[in-house]
Chains A and B, each alone.
Chain A
């Protein structure tokens, strides 16, 4: 009887140790960032304002500007406007559509497959929810995440979560910041 109790308590101790190792691993895997196969060569990247938002003040221009400072304070990444850049930030108006944003990038498959050669990131001004508080900013921060090498997620507290509540998750989260740090160090 006494021996049985001893074995049981030893078994419980082993179980407890295993739980301490396994449970954090499980919670980590739920919200862990995922890396894209390519990213911007430099974490400091230029862009031009597209023709639809070249004067300040619109919802979408403001969203991009907020997202630039959000990523600058969350990481060492820096997006700056420069009139002779090959990259572009813009907006488009797609009606009858629930699309929030679209980022198009080119890369060279033969020589520089891990680096983005140019990008064009746009937010849909025609989405009926885009003017709701923080939705455009959430979209802008998400698109920057793609350029910085982190991939979409289907769950978790992350700007890269496709299924996030956009009015509450609108700036880079710890998981996104960890992902970008893993890309650029």
Chain B
């Protein structure tokens, strides 16, 4: 018969062996990847709800026509040298030639400018089987990883109609020389002399959902949220009234 001390020793040894096996099993277990199913992107754009704010925020207000698409470019730049593209990010901008009929605000010498419209952006996300605690700390490192990369349309993009008349509310990019939306909304289309506000945020729309295929039969639900929609503050106003309001707001 074993002495009590020896029995105790084997008991403790047994516990240690079982514990070590269980721990190594825990370390080696390959849990499946936590697949990304849904994503939400909040865009913090300056959104205005009145005509006066729109006119105030713009450095330049011009009327004229888009004549052609010049080029597509990467708006994401290397912060160390912005003349270079950002090698890690891709934000697609479409540059259009815009022929100016009238400069309603600001000093502009040339009669043709390039206007940039942000079109889309590439979103990258890494999914893995890492075990993460409630505060976002990784408790157990990933043994499997999968990087998803896909393009998401910019919620503000509206393709301009060539040869139609528009009034645009713009800022100038001092580094590249082109012009871009000062705020959202920033564009009024003039159709048969009647001004129409151009914006995807009309009727107080503020969220945009897209189901994006990411390979195989998998999709990711992407919900873009711009924060606030707008009421149509142009409807019912005449073109003369708008031009008059711009000249008094200067």
Contacts and interface: CB of A to CB of B under 8 A. Distances in A.
Interface residues of B, number: 55
Interface string B119-149: 0000101000010101111100000000000
Given A87-B136, A93-B78, A98 B171 contact: yes
Contact of B136 (A46, A101, A125): A46
A96 B93 contact: yes
8 contacts: A85-B136, A95-B173, A98-B180, A98-B184, A104-B40, A106-B36, A106-B125, A154-B49
B176 A100 contact: no
Interface in B67-87: 75-79, 82, 86
B41 A104 contact: yes
Contacts of A92: 76, 86, 89
Interface of A: 40-42, 44-47, 52, 82, 84-87, 91-110, 117-118, 125-126, 128, 139, 142-143, 146, 152-154, 162-163
B76 A152 contact: no
A45 B37 CA distance: 22
A148 to B, nearest CB: 12
A163 B134 contact: no
Contact of A163 (B48, B123, B175): B48
B198 interface: no
B77 to A, nearest CB: 5
A109 B36 CA distance: 9
Given A99-B45, A126-B82, A128-B171, 10 more contacts: A84-B137, A86-B137, A93-B78, A94-B77, A95-B173, A101-B44, A102-B42, A128-B173, A162-B46, A163-B48
B34 A153 contact: no
B181 A98 contact: yes
Nearest to B76: A94
Contacts of B89: 92
B221 A45 contact: no
Contacts of B77: 93-95, 126
A96 B138 contact: no
